[in-house]
Each structure stands twice: as structure tokens, then as C-alpha cells.
Chains A and B, each alone.
Chain A
Amino acid sequence: MSILVDEKTRVIVQGITGRDGSFHAKTMIDYGTKVVAGATPGKGGTECVGVPVFDSVLEAREATGANASIAYVPATFAADAVHEAFDAGIELVVCITEGIPTSEVLKIYGKMKALGVRMIGPNCPGVISPGKCKVGIMPARIHTPGNVGVVSRSGTLTYEVVNQLTSAGLGQSTCIGIGGDPIIGTNFIDALTLFEADPETKAVVLIGEIGGTDEEEAAEFIKAKIRKPVVGFVAGQTAPPGKRMGHAGAIVSGGTGTAKEKIEAFKKAGIAVADIPSQISQLVSGFVKPA
């Protein structure tokens, strides 16, 4: 098993005819992901990277029975793309796009909860269940199948950690980049809940960063509900207050959201905390036997 995506996932690529959309659609197909359709308004009836293209997500879903989509759509049109996918009956939408106004993401979040569906992101690298399915932009070759679940607000820092896990013989069940925006569709608690229920996942790596209180909430949740071992890391210990550190959500404001508070919350919840990224695989190998 794994979570969120696997061999049964049938994916529509929204914005498949764009430069990024076609490039990543191809890498996903090469990985073995079942990319069943593309959707680009005005390009219906054509084909792109060997996949039929439809004018709308609804037409694409009706023709192919897709259950997931990934949006490679510029920020100006991305919120519309996510609404379109939800309204077309898609249950899982991965939104890669960075730069969507928060007010738009808040509206999407409201709809997502009302429909009981899920968005991963925005501003994220996507999700991969190694050896089964990749719905995202992460480099495939650093991943290997195994029993470690990874959930992170970051992109490249996740690659760094996954690469180390793989080098140490620690494969992954599923890796999810939940995104660097202040409001995201899937948070740590959602991912932890899924990992806890997944028999293949034996331990979880949780990579947080400054800003907001998602890590603190996750810590409380882990203490109360999660039996599997969790290894944590928080980026941004040297970040000055009041400055946005690249990610729209990575900001210490009004004295809250500091790395120190988050690390303390993790430690209080009994989570093994790595001081530096290269300690993560060592800590994980205390819980999961390397291959």
C-alpha cells in the first residue's frame, strides 16, 4: 500500500499543452503513472505527449474515468483550474502553482471541505508513491520503494532528505510535498492520519518550517493519535522575524511561528528531532531497518 496515489490512480494533466505541463506529463508517464488525459481550453481533440487532450476537465473525466488531476497552470488561472476539477468530480487535485492569491485559496479550501475532496498544495512539488505513481515535479530517481512516509512543506529540502534516505537504504511508501503557502489543502495532520492507517508505512518523516502553527498542531495530534514513530525537522532557525523566507507561508509574525517553538512542541510530543538534515536518516534507521 501507500497513500493518496498508487497503480490505480488515473490522472488528468491540466495545462498539459504548456511548457511545464508537457515536460512533467512526460516524466510522469515515463515513471509509470497512468496519465489518461490532458485538459487545456481550446486544445480539445488534439494529442500531447501521446495523451488525448480535452477542452475541459469534465469531458476528460467522462471520457477516461480519471480520479485525480494535477494543475500546471499559471497563477492567474490556477484557482479556476482547481474549481473546475472539483466541479468535474475529481477527488484529488495536486496544485503545483506558486503565487495564487490567498483569498482564492481560502475559497477553494471552503469548497474542498464542502465536497469532501482533497487538494494537495498549492505551491508544492506534488506526491509520489515510489515504484507506483508520481503526480508531481520531483526528480523520480532519488526515490525508492520502502516503508518511510515523508511529508513536507518544502520542495528541494524534501529531495535532499529523500535522497539521503534512499542512500541509507531507507525506501519510501509515499512522499508528499504539502506546499509552502499560508493556506494549503492538505496539512500535516491529514497526511499523518493517512500514514497511520497505511500498513506499509512504518515511520514518518515530518519536515516543517517557520510560519503558522501547523507543526504545533501536528505535534499535539501525534502525541494523542499517532502510534508510529515520527522524525521531525524544522527549517528556518536563523530566519529573522517579520521577513518572508521565499515561501509565502514562511514568516514569523507577531512572535509566533518560530522554529524554536515548533522544535519544542515536537520534543514535548516525543518526536525525534534532527538538528540538521543529515541526521534524519540516522534517526529513521533507529525505527526502520535499512534494506
Chain B
Amino acid sequence: MNIHEYQAKEVFARYGIPVPPGRVAKSPSEAMRIASELGGPVVVKAQVHVGGRGKAGGIKFGSTPSETEKVASQVLGMKIKGLTVEKVLVTTSIDVATESYLGIVVDRRAKRPVFMASPAGGVDIEEVARTSPEKIFKMHIDPCTGLLPYQSRFLASKLDGDPKLRSQIASISHKLWRVFWEMDCSLAEINPLVKTKDGQIIALDAKINLDDNGLDRHPELAAMREGESENDRMAREMGLSYVKLEGSVGCCVNGAGLAMATMDLIKHHGGEPANFLDIGGSSSPEKVLTAMRIICSDPGVRAVFFNIFGGITRCDDVATGIVTALKEIEVKVPIVIRLTGTNEQRAREILGKAGLAATTSMDEGVRQVLRMAQEGVS
């Protein structure tokens, strides 16, 4: 789960990482009020879950409260990479002397968190990694010890020559590590970390991505979820993994690997999947019903393909779910079912009573559903 900059700055502030004063606004008038409370020039920043906000015109300067109202009205409601801006962060404008970078991610190859520091801040760090990797300094962190003092001293030494500022940066590094580790982040990043013209070190931006598996133990962070679509919410609450795509063949599969392979096979045979959907291991009929609701609400779907290899998942549960779904919701598109494995025979009986048949081969199922998706009739 990703949270917005303003939320990440709340977390940073709690840990004592210096951030510029500011508050979030949903309307231009609210932005104006915040600007006058803050006093002096402000920056209005779009709160959306994509990078490149500045280039897209989502970050604007307001020298007075009335100018802030005007620029906020331009930013609020604008679309950045397909996402509508519903909130802006109004924050005190800072006189920047230099910009640098601090960030922590899990290095999957090293199987340790890696702390990265770079004097090349304010630009996309992946771009820096491509064009001038020598400007990125890394320290892998032992999960048993956490970030050690020598490591934060090393990282700080690469960002500033002034011993006083170095110790400020080392202290911020340590706090950033605590945010990352204690809050179960998959990424915690300050880009840019700036030195102001009066010699202060401040986190001008803040980015936190959270490990979904850690959310249960951080209810205050889980409550920060914003901008979720109705289908995404339904899927999450039912324990389904759902990703909407742009094709015409709706997919309902048990297991993530098989679900991906099903999408790939549809593409291989010349079709386009409408979604990724994994109904998970022990899939009850209710899960299947919810999955059908989600898939059938997508107007692009012209046929639905069930691909079930029963292990823990019982084929009869899935069959019951399909039959229930056909009764409870209006399904206007044809359904092709492939199922095999646990309780397969029982499933075929349940489907048979409802006038449905199922194939045992994944390839055959995909060919059938593609024929139907092209015809588009039941």
C-alpha cells in the first residue's frame, strides 16, 4: 500500500525528521486559509500516487494567500497520469541551497534492507542509478542490529562536508531507518533532503510504501488508505487479489502463478485478459460470488474464464459459487469453466444440474473462451 506525501510527512514528523510546516487541503479556499496561517510564500503540491508530479504541473508556487487559492484551483481536479488530484499539500516554501537523497528499500538479492544516499537529489533515483551509479552510496543493514552508527556516519559523509550538518544528516538517517523498520515499510525515501540557505537540513519530500503484510500490526497506517476503487475495496475485503487490465476476457483463477499463466495463455492465443484475479487458497462460494460481481461490473468484459486447479481449493465450492452468482447477479456474458482436482466430480454434478459444463484442459478452456469473447453472445 502506498500513502501520500502529506501522510508520510506526518509519520516523519512523529519520528522527529524535520519537515516544512504544512497541511492538506481539499478545496482552493482551504488552501488559501492554510497559506495565510503559514504566512509567507507556499508551495501547493498535488497528492497523487504517481511520480513526476512536478513535470506534470502538479507542483505550483503561491506567493500570497490569494495566489495560493488560484494555483490550488488549477491543481485540484487536474489529471496526472490518469489519476485525479483530490488533495493538495500546502507547505511553506523553502530557500534551497543543495539537494540530496536518502532512501531505504529491501534488497531482494542481498536479502537485507539497503540504505542509499546520494548527493544527486531532487531527481528520480532510478535515473541516477542508470546514468551515474557512482553517485549512489549504499549500506546493507543487518536486520539483527539495525542501522549502526558508523553506517549513518558513512552515509552522511557522502552528502555534506560540514561536520555539524553531517551529524544532523546522520541523525535523520537513523530516524528514517526507524520509520522503515518499525512501520514495516517496503520503501522509505527523502528526495530531496535539502540544505536550506540558512544551514538547516529538511526533508522537502517524503515517500513511504508499506508492506501489505505488515498492515495488520499498524492500524493507524492501514487507516491512511485513500483513492481505492470500489472493486479494489470489495476484492481486498473478501481476500481476493484483483488487478484491472484493459482486455475483454475476464479471469477467475485459484493461485497467483496459475492466474498469471492464464492471462499469458490468453494473450498467447491472440486475446487480451480483462483482469488478474486470484481467489486464493481456501475459496468459499462467497469469494467466487464476489469475484463474479467484480469481473462482471467491468464493461469491457465479453466472456469470463474460470481456471481452477483444486488443491486446498475445492472444485465443488467454486461450482456452487458460480451457480449462485448466475442466480444472484445478471451475467450478460458467456462463461467458460475449466476445473480439475479436489472434488472435481461433485463440482461437475453441481454445474450439470445448472446446465453448465466444464473442460479439464487449460488450453482448451482458453480456446473456447476466446471464441466466445469474439462472438460476445451467450
User: Chain A: residues with CB nearer than 8 A to chain B?
Assistant: 20, 75-76, 98-103, 106-107, 109-110, 125, 137-139, 142, 152-160, 163, 180, 182-183, 207, 209-210, 212-214, 217, 233, 235-240, 243-250, 254-255, 259, 275-278
Contacts and interface: CB of A to CB of B under 8 A. Distances in A.
Given A76-B216, A100-B213, A240-B243, A276 B260 contact: no
Contacts of B181: 103
Given A98-B281, A276-B264, 6 more contacts: A20-B282, A153-B257, A183-B106, A240-B243, A245-B256, A255-B126
B108 A160 contact: no
Given A103-B143, A139-B341, A240-B243, A254 B126 contact: yes
Interface in B246-264: 253-261, 263-264
20 contacts: A20-B282, A99-B216, A102-B214, A103-B181, A103-B184, A107-B143, A139-B310, A139-B341, A152-B257, A157-B255, A163-B309, A235-B257, A238-B245, A238-B260, A244-B212, A246-B241, A246-B276, A247-B257, A276-B264, A278-B362
B340 A157 contact: no
A235 B309 contact: no
Interface string B293-335: 0000000000000000111110000000000000000000000
A101 B258 contact: no
A248 B257 contact: no
Contacts of B108: 182-183, 212-214, 249
Nearest to B2: A242
B144 interface: yes
B211 A209 contact: no
A248 B259 CA distance: 14
A212 B340 CA distance: 31
B142 interface: yes
A138 B309 CA distance: 11
B241 A245 contact: yes
Contacts of A246: 241, 255-257, 259-260, 276, 278
Given A155-B311, A156-B257, A160-B309, A238 B273 contact: yes
B237 to A, nearest CB: 15
B341 to A, nearest CB: 6
A146 to B, nearest CB: 20
A217 to B, nearest CB: 7
Contacts of A214: 108
B368 interface: no
A73 to B, nearest CB: 14
Contacts of B340: 163
Among B261, B264, B309, B313, max chain A CB count under 10 A is at B261
- 4 tightest Cβ-Cβ pairs between the two chains A and B: A154-B257, A246-B256, A156-B255, A157-B257
B255 A154 contact: yes
A245 B260 CA distance: 8
Contacts of A243: 243, 276
A243 B241 CA distance: 11
A63 to B, nearest CB: 30
B265 A276 contact: yes
Interface stretch (B24-32, B39-47, B109-117): B109-117
Contacts of A213: 108-109
A141 to B, nearest CB: 9
A277 B263 contact: no
Interface in B110-142: 111-113, 126, 142
B268 interface: yes
B264 A235 contact: yes
Given A240-B245, A275-B268, A276-B363, A156 B143 contact: no
B267 A237 contact: yes
B311 A156 contact: yes
Contacts of B106: 102, 106, 182-183
B211 to A, nearest CB: 5
Contacts of B157: none
Nearest to B264: A237
Interface size class of B (residues with CB under 8 A): 35 or more
A101 B257 contact: no
Contacts of A239: 243, 260, 263, 276
Interface string B352-378: 000000000011000000000000000
Interface in B335-351: 340-342
B91 interface: no
A101 B214 contact: yes
Nearest to A278: B363
Contacts of B268: 275-276
B53 to A, nearest CB: 16
B264 A236 contact: yes
A116 to B, nearest CB: 16
Contact of A154 (B258, B281, B282, B362): B258
B189 to A, nearest CB: 12
Contact of A160 (B184, B241, B258, B282): B258
Contacts of B363: 276, 278
A106 B143 contact: yes
A44 B342 CA distance: 32
A125 B309 CA distance: 13
Contacts of A277: 261, 265, 362
B55 interface: no
Contacts of B264: 235-238, 259, 276
Which of A102, A138, A154, A240 gathers most chain B CB within 10 Å? A102
Contacts of B68: none
B217 interface: yes
B186 interface: yes
Contacts of B243: 239-240, 243-245
Contact of B254 (A138, A156, A250, A254): A156
Interface in B278-293: 278, 281-282
A20 B213 CA distance: 20
Given A101-B184, A102-B214, A180-B256, A138 B311 contact: yes
Contacts of A142: 341
A109 B106 CA distance: 13
